[in-house]
Amino acid sequence: MPIEFTPWPEDFARAYREKGYWRGESLTQILRGRCAIDPDAVALICGDRQISYAEFDARSSQLAENLARRGIKAGDAALVQLPNVAEFYIAFFALLKMGVAPINALFSHNRLEMTAYAEQIEPTLLIGSAEHALFLDGAYAEALTKSFPMLRLVAIHGTTAYAENLALLTEPGDEAFGFNQESSAPDQVAFFQLSGGSTGVPKLIPRTHEDYYYSVRRSAEVCGLTPQSRYLCALPAPHNFPLSSPGALGVFHAGGTVVLARDPSPQTCFDLIRRHEIDIAAVVPPIASLWIEAAADGAAPLATLKLLQIGGARLGDAVARRIPCALGCRLQQVFGMAEGLVNYTRLDDDEERIFTTQGRPMCPDDEIKAVNAEGERVGPGEVGELLTRGPYTIRGYYRSPEHNARAFDAEGFYRTGDLVQITEDGYVKVVGRKKDQINRGGEKFSAEEIENLLLTHEAVMDAALVSMPDSLMGEKSCAYIVANDDDLQALALRKYLRSLGVADFKLPDRFEFVGQLPVTAFGKIDKQTLRDRIQTKLNA
């Protein structure tokens, strides 16, 4: 059974096909295409390993074959959590070849997130990493297998006593392998992206082969990728930005080389940039600031780096202006979302645009509008919520009819929750946010998710999580707590949240204990007042 999703209306689908955005091709064509052109070119560098396109293709087919032999089949879903290692892409293509839809969890996700994803997709396959605390021993895998009886195979990257070894499953076997199963149909779901979240339960984003393939192709074009491109993947590989904007898939599409960094620190990345003659890299704003600082401390110049892409959170204009001089490269701002729409400043834009805007949509048929509280379009330069629809923007989250009714308008526009100004010539500036989300240096999570967890603590009567400004991270989180116990302390609440298995980046950076929470005229918690309060306190 194909994975369900909200399709585009027939007339839109027809137009997107006629205009060549959707080509009826599966994402697996990315690898197949490059193997036909230059199989010996280096696709991936991971530590000391160099993997050609031919080897990449062969290993992913071998893994597909081995998984199929163990009963994993088309229409299944897989829960995957890997760090930045070659096996992430090998597994991704193996699953695409099999028509198995993966959720690629971030490495920073923990028990709570992983379990919530499993609940939604009911995976038959779990792929994890022995480097992650969750998979050090077999306890969590066993617990998942108990809760989810459909889960039939656990493969772990690294050696464990309890699971199959993922890397070994990619090793060419003695017999000639003949994996020739079809991927899912190009107009069907290929995999799930993760939403940053603005509700209690994290929402899944079903992406079809065709729609995602278009975003990859067009991104590679906008960013000028060629077979000579050497891309540093420093952000978590599964995230939409380093995966497809243009990210690793864009580089594979163009026939270039992806170099994997285990972390985005300047210590790790500067060395890789020099050693592998990287010419393009992508980071979030706090990392850009660290790179600027390290460069000012006299680190050797990054001679080959031509383009630094920055996105995921708002880049301050002042930091933007320092990039070219400090790092000796051009800047490209990228404002995208896992739901679809991606905006880029263009390589030939003038500096003012590059420094002060988050770019414009990549596709001529991306429809964008900024609307006021009544849903009416505001004029150029005026602030409104950004709404969008187009050939690679979803029409609905996975199995979330109620949420979809709010997250999309009657015409199928996705409500991004971002407050923007759209200039006369169609460039977008992000000026704020309407959605109840924290964006901690590019890592997003829903305030409500953490509030709900806090409210399960016996001493917490009321809780509200708001963002507070932070010079490096852009924002951090502050939890306002009404407690029924005067002795309740921040440390105890952090410990409690940890015990629930929530990802570290979602732990409140600060706790404020108060007698009551302010409410609006409608009786809702007045978060704006709380944001103002914490800002005043920080300023003082």
Long-range contacts made by residues 432-436, C-beta under 8 angstroms, separation at least 24?
A: 432/383, 434/385, 435/198, 436/198, 436/527
Smaller CB distance to ligand OOB: residue 279 or 418?
A: 418
Applying CB under 6 A, does 441 fall inside the site for ligand OOB?
no
Nearest to 19 by CA among 414, 395, 427, 390: 390
By rule CB under 6 A, what count of residues binds ligand OOB? 22
User: Is 214 near ligand OOB (CB under 6 A)?
Assistant: no
**Binding test (CB under 6 A) with ligand OOB, winner from 288, 342, 370, 483:** 342
Site stretch for ligand OOB (CB under 6 A), options 66-74, 115-123, 133-141, 328-336: 328-336
Tell me which of 369, 444, 527, 533 binds ligand OOB, using CB under 6 A.
Answer: 444
Measured from the CB atom, the residue of 415 and 457 that comes closer to ligand OOB is 415
- Give the dihedral of Cα atoms 298, 300, 301, 302; nearest 10 deg: -130
Nearest distance from residue 241's CB to ligand OOB, in Å? 4
Of 401-430, binders to ligand OOB (CB under 6 A) are 416, 418, 430
3-state secondary structure of 78: strand
Q: In the window 351-380, what residues touch ligand OOB (CB under 6 A)?
A: 358
Q: Of 406 and 537, which has the nearer Cβ to ligand OOB?
A: 406
C-alpha count within 13 angstroms, C-beta hemisphere, residue 468? 20
In angstroms, how far is the first alpha carbon of the chain from the final one?
59
Question: How is 197-259 classified by DSSP, letter by letter?
Answer: -SSSSPPEEEEEHHHHHHHHHHHHHHTT--TT-EEEE-S-TTSHHHHHSSHHHHHHHHT-EEE
- Rounded Cα gap, residues 140 and 444, in angstroms: 25
Binds ligand OOB (CB under 6 A): choice among 238, 336, 390, 391: 336
Residue 359 backbone class (left: φ over 0; alpha: ψ -120 to 50; beta: rest):
left
Q: Is residue 497 a contact point for ligand OOB (CB under 6 A)?
A: no
338 binds ligand OOB (CB under 6 A): yes
Instruction: Give the one residue of 314, 395, 415, 527 binding ligand OOB; rule: CB under 6 A.
Output: 314
Q: Which residues pair with 171 in a beta bridge?
A: none
Least distance CB 252 / ligand OOB (angstroms): 17
Q: Which of 313, 331, 460, 479 binds ligand OOB (CB under 6 A)?
A: 313
- CA gap 109, 135 in Å, rounded: 12
Q: Return the number of the residue (197 or 255) whose C-beta is nearest ligand OOB.
A: 197
Among 21, 241, 252, 291, binds ligand OOB (CB under 6 A): 241
Residue closest to ligand OOB (Cβ): 336
Residue spans of alpha helices (H) in 456-523: 490-499
For residue 219, state whether it binds ligand OOB (rule: CB under 6 A): no
Q: Is 246 in the site for ligand OOB (CB under 6 A)?
A: no
Choose between 156 and 205: whose C-beta lies nearer to ligand OOB. Answer: 205
311 binds ligand OOB (CB under 6 A): yes
Bin 224: left if φ > 0, else alpha if -120 < ψ < 50, else beta.
left
- Buried b vs exposed e over 298-312: b needs ≥16 C-beta within 10 Å? ebeebeebbbbbbbb
Residue with Cβ nearer ligand OOB (15 or 419): 419
What is the CB-side half-sphere exposure of residue 473 using CA atoms within 13 A? 15
Nearer to ligand OOB, 61 or 195 (CB): 195
Distance CA 514, CA 367 (A): 44
Would you count residue 335 as binding ligand OOB (CB under 6 A)?
Answer: yes
Q: Is residue 245 a contact point for ligand OOB (CB under 6 A)?
A: yes
Contact 508, 530 (CB under 8 A): no
* Positions 179 through 198 that interact with ligand OOB (CB under 6 A): 196
- Residue 315 CB, nearest approach to ligand OOB (Å): 6
Closest CA to 465 of 440, 433, 442, 438: 438
Please tell me whether residue 333 binds ligand OOB under the rule CB under 6 A.
Answer: yes
Q: Which residues bind ligand OOB (CB under 6 A)?
A: 196, 240-241, 245, 311-314, 333-338, 342, 358, 416, 418, 430, 433, 439, 444
